[in-house]
Structure 1
């Protein structure tokens, strides 16, 4: 049975969670993700995170991540800071992961988990650079208070429209959603912190991948 199209898709729901949480607790980069039965993060929705950084994380560094779902679940905390996570792992893993974060200008990270009973089903990563500084004790308390809302969102029914976006990269999905909302190239570049030539390249790739010739056709193919 197809869910009503008025419902948000799973990836759009992730973007809404990111927007809501960062309005209260600012972050430089964000990622919302689903957690499979093997406690592996998947189906990422990204905000301002460079695709190169995300792919490097998936291919080389996720196993060193002290805040990966398996570690957060073992810690028994719905909100876990980078400092808390690193205190639970070895020195080598900590140094490798800190090096990865530093190369991408990340100073601090906090992870929020959503659970269905005892099983983690989704997570939200908030990352900060030097300009925003470390997450404060008060901000961690605020995230604890908001964690229940993340669970409500993670367990909510979603539209099946996301199936049409399944073959797009996280960045392409972000651009598609912005196009659906009527954003022009300059707005997309500003929102995603990209250069205009990069936006145009993504649009060309999107049109080719979806098999359309313009923005209107793209939005119709993916969302209508």
Structure 2
């Protein structure tokens, strides 16, 4: 993510959290496959985020594509869960409960009818669930975020020639995860992680983790 995009992401997180308090938050870009990528986290710990990417993203009722199908710029967890099979929703609720998250709201911004970025706001028990009037207060900020994003070129996300596993590892590297944390999050052995890293370095023509992240995200 460029410095300009990072500044915009931090501004969005601050503005949304001030308007409607949140315990945790994340700003992200949305790639051509309607997948969230290039995350900027606020009070959201890397291990939780790594577990989400490795094991729970598929169960997330507030993925960008699912939010777009609901057709509203601000989507609550309740709305998202209503569109999922019950078993899938229960799996995702258990993941949230493990991290003391009681509610989530997603804000999706579009430019030229294409989703380009989003903000996740998460609440722990001390703040309780989001109320209807709070969701309404997010709508004007959503419009401002879309205007700001329209003035920027879309940021690059993980290269499409990578395998799904390589995409997972690249995103975890982006979050600063060590080889051990990547292995734990993905259920892999350390030698397997190292093999994937070697393949990533070769594909992208880089020699270390810093160059890899810069090649994919800067």
* TM-score for both structures, normalised by structure 2: 0.69
The residue number in structure 2 matching 1:132 is 127
Q: Any residues of structure 2 matched to 1:22-171 within 5 Å, and which?
A: 22-157=17-152, 169-170=174-175
Q: Output the CA distance in 2 between the equivalents of 1:38 and 1:18.
A: 24
The count of corresponding residues between Structure 1 and Structure 2 is 164
**Contact 1:32–1:45, Cα closer than 8 Å, also in 2:** yes
1:168-189 residue CA offsets vs partner (Å, 9 max, x unmatched): 74469xxxxxxxxxxxxxxxxx
Q: State the Cα RMSD in Å.
A: 2.4
Q: Output the CA distance in 2 between the equivalents of 1:141 and 1:95.
A: 27
Q: Output the CA distance in 2 between the equivalents of 1:96 and 1:168.
A: 26
In structure 2, the CA distance between the partners of 1:171 and 1:26, relative to structure 1 (3 Å rule), is: farther
Cα distance, 1:150 vs. partner?
1.4
Structure 1: runs of 5+ lacking an equivalent: 1-6, 161-165, 173-208, 211-224
* TM-score for both structures, normalised by structure 1: 0.67
Cα distance, 1:60 vs. partner?
0.5
Q: Output the CA distance in 2 between the equivalents of 1:46 and 1:32.
A: 7
The residue number in structure 1 matching 2:159 is none
